[in-house]
Structure 1
Amino acid sequence: MNNNFEHIQAAHCESGVTRNLLKNIGINKMTEPLAFGIGSGLFFVYIPFIKINNGPAIAFRSMPGIIFKQTCHSLGIHVERKKFSSREKAQQFLDDRLAEGKAVGCQVGVYYLPYFPKEYRFHFNAHNLIVFDKEGDNYIVSDPIMDQVTSMTSYQLERVRFAKGALAPRGQLYYAETNHEVTDEQMKKAIQHGIKKNVFNMLRIPGPIAGVKGIRFTANKIKHWRDKFGLEKAGLYLAQLVRMQEEIGTGGGGFRYIYAAFLQEAHAYHNNDELLKISEEFTKSGDLWRTSAVQAAGIYKGRLGTQQDFNVMGDYLLEIAEIEKQAFEALSKLKWQ
């Protein structure tokens, strides 16, 4: 069993899990912002033809698992990741790893998490937590967005590990296998690689629905939602955007603040003051995402509802798209020492 695991609260589930799992194997240089940035966690995608909770799929971060995978890969740390068709095999594999003293990350559904407040429970299957011990039939859980460790019975854990629906986790678990010292030079290279990957994802990824182009695409769609869907359905779509932005994994504004912190911490490894200037732009973007969430909530709750209100909402996203475009273009031009 793993009695030395240290639970540290985080702003976002996967970057928090990444930091805590790596710290558990002795990688003390890792912080949550560094994990988020090295893992190229910042993203945006709007997928209207996929529905989650009767609204369009909207994501403000990379696909589940990418942050942990890329962070470890960039630092030369071997990762084991498993999915299961059998619930019995999934539990046995987890039990075996716990018996070896390993802390294990799990992708789970939110809806049936017993320690989540009811207002935060809905069908979202890309949450991450750590299981690090077992006492009888209770698994000891470190969920990084909670302030302290908790526990779940084997039935409760199985239920969330095998939640149904979009992004069904299928018992997925993962952990870092290698335990070795990470040098400052490795951190420098990992930071550089993470930034370059994020530049590609936000500026150069093909298609109109992802990255900066996706933010702009969504902004223009929002301006037509009222006429196309009617006020009630358009309000529900905006509620979906706010839910994904502010209630699931810190969302639009919070992710931009974490990325700003990443660039500030990256400055300690790459002595380039441009990193600090660009960091300020992501803080501006985060502020605007939060302002747009207030506007969207006003429409959903009926305080606002005119076409002009939808136009203002769309214009916020157009301004955000331009800020992030300029910021990532500046990152693409950085001179690395």
Structure 2
Amino acid sequence: MEYIIEDFTPSGGKHCITNALKQVFDYYDHPLSEAMLFGLGSGLAFTYINLANSPMISGRTKPIEFEEKLAERLTIKAKCRKPKNYENCLVKTIKLIQQNHPVLIYVDMPFMKYLEMAPSSHFGGHAVVLFGFDEEKRLFYVSDRDNSDYPIHTPRGEIASDYHLVSYQEIEQARSSSFRPFPAKNKYFEFDFSTYTERLTTSIIAAIKDTCESMLNPPAKLLGINGIVKFSQEILKWQHFSQDKLKIAGITNYFQISQDGGTGGGIFRKMYGEFLLEVDAILPNKGIAELAAGFIHLGDQWDILAADLWYLGETGDSKMLQPLSKQISEMATTERTLLQQLKLMIDS
């Protein structure tokens, strides 16, 4: 038996979760841009993460936390399911698709073969949408963020498919993975849009205030603006890494910043700038467009850093670390100023 949700249209996008959500919102006739979804969920963040294989930075809030905030602000019923038994997870997934509900799931990226990731490049917070299945061939129809008119770059090349046919076995490995960071562990979302309320003005103000607070007054030194400052300090310690680990750190964090890694460019700062451009049309006379341009320019600076990190990944040249530290420190100061100005505008 083969079943495909007829009215679901796969589309490509900048970031996995905002693109997956965009497709779900479109399907239920409540279209919002990726940038608006990102901003409404208070997606902008920063974390410096120490992992054994390589230190890693992140420019967005945690998976699940982001989706739940977005749903709350738009009064959507969104339930994150976490079945312990994969067989139960599979049965429920098939049932939802047969009921014409696309299923937003989380997968560990190396197990999705079309992404051509290194086996050790675990990340279980990658979101895709299942919108069909073939029981006889044991395949799922998967929409990722690539599309025939939206190519994306993977570590080993470019992909651009409207959808991917992925075996049940691959999907099971990817969904049930417990590898850090952000273990997938069978998580998926069920949505109910019957209570949806587009209170954009109220929701936008709440979202921006939340972002400013979490970035300017984070609860830990590894988070928010403090985390960016910490990154500027910690990168100097990378000189003690073996050359192999230094190269891995460079490449890993290139993808955490670059649009190639699904950030929309500039470790999500460009997406936040695009969100603020949309906000400027909804909240007139606030002067937010100027700050939007500031975030987009800041994203350009992060992209310059990403290019340097790529070079670090190719050469393992530890002499780069001192100037990189200075670049990061300057960006922390710039972002703090932008967020302080944004907070004043929203509060006025």
- TM-score, length of structure 2 as denominator length: 0.88
Kindly indicate whether the alpha-carbon contact (under 8 Å) linking 1:41 and 1:66 is maintained by their aligned counterparts in 2: no
Greater Cα shift, 313-322 or 120-129: 120-129
Instruction: Tell me the secondary structure at the aligned position of residue 113 of structure 2.
Output: coil
Structure 1 residues not aligned, in runs of 5+: none
Shifted more, 292-301 versus 228-237: the winner is: 228-237
Correspondence for 2:256 among 200, 225, 244:
244
Is 1:157 the equivalent of 2:159?
Answer: no
- Could you tell me which amino acid in structure 2 is paired with residue 311 of structure 1? Q
Within 2, Cα distance between the matches of 1:300 and 1:117?
18
Find the partner of 2:326 among 315, 321, 328. Answer: 315
Give 1:296 deviation, angstroms.
Answer: 2.0
Instruction: Give the match for residue 178 of structure 1.
Output: 193
**Pairing partner for 1:263 from 272, 276, 294:** 276
Identity %: 21
Displacement after TM superposition at 1:159 (Å): 1.5
Instruction: Please report how far the alpha carbon of residue 124 of structure 1 lies from its aligned counterpart in structure 2 after TM superposition.
Output: 1.5
Query: For the structure 1 residues 58 and 211, does the alpha-carbon distance in structure 2 shift closer, same or farther, using more than 3 Å as the test?
Result: same
Q: Number of residue pairs matched?
A: 328
After the TM superposition, which residues 113-132 of structure 1 pair with which residues of structure 2 at under 5 Å, given as runs?
A: 113-118=112-117, 122-132=121-131
* Distance in structure 1 (CA, Å) of the matches to 2:178 and 2:147: 24
Task: After superposition, give the CA deviation of every residue in 1:210-258 in whole Å (9 maximum; x if it has no partner).
Answer: 11111011101212321x3355544433333223223432276151111
Aligned partner letter, 2:98: A
Match of residue 98 from structure 1: 97
Q: Which runs of 5+ in 2 are unaligned?
A: 149-161
1:160 maps to a residue whose letter is A
Q: Residues 152-195 of structure 1: CA distance to partner in whole angstroms, max 9, x if unpaired?
A: 22222111111231122111110321235644xx0111111111
Deviation of residue 17 (structure 1)?
A: 1.1
Matched, 1:291 2:290: no
**What is the aligned counterpart of 1:216 among 190, 209, 229?**
229
2:44 to 38, 42, 47: 42
Post-superposition, which runs of at least 4 consecutive aligned residues in structure 1 deviate over 4 A?
118-121
The 3 A distance-change label for structure 1 pair 240 and 153 is closer
Whether 2:33 is the aligned partner of 1:31: answer yes
CA shift for structure 1 position 47: 2.4
| Residue identity matched to 2:238 | W
Q: Is 2:294 the counterpart of 1:281? A: yes
Are 1:22 and 1:176, in contact at CA under 8 Å, matched by a contact in 2?
no
CA distance in 1, matches of 2:120, 2:248: 17
Flag the 1:154–1:178 CA change in 2: closer, same or farther, 3 A. Answer: same
Provide the aligned C-alpha RMSD in A.
2.1
Instruction: Assess if the C-alpha contact under 8 Å between 1:43 and 1:61 holds in 2.
Output: yes
2:133 maps to which residue? 134
Alpha-carbon shift at residue 113 of structure 1 (Å)? 0.7
Cα separation, 2, equivalents of 1:26 and 1:313: 45
- Encode CA deviations 1:306-335: one digit per residue, 9 max, x unaligned: 2xx211101111111111101111111114
Q: 1:272 to 1:13 in 2, by over 3 A?
A: farther
Q: Is residue 110–residue 118 contact of structure 2 (8 Å, CA) maintained in 1? A: no
Give the direction of change, closer, same or farther, for the CA distance of 1:25–1:117 in structure 2 (3 Å limit): same
Instruction: Give, in whole Å, the separation in 1 of the partners of 2:33 and 2:89.
Output: 30
Q: Secondary structure at the match of 2:285?
A: coil
Change (3 A) 1:125 1:146: farther
Using the alignment, how far apart are the partners of 2:189 and 2:90 within structure 1?
Answer: 13
- Match for 2:183 among 155, 159, 168? 168
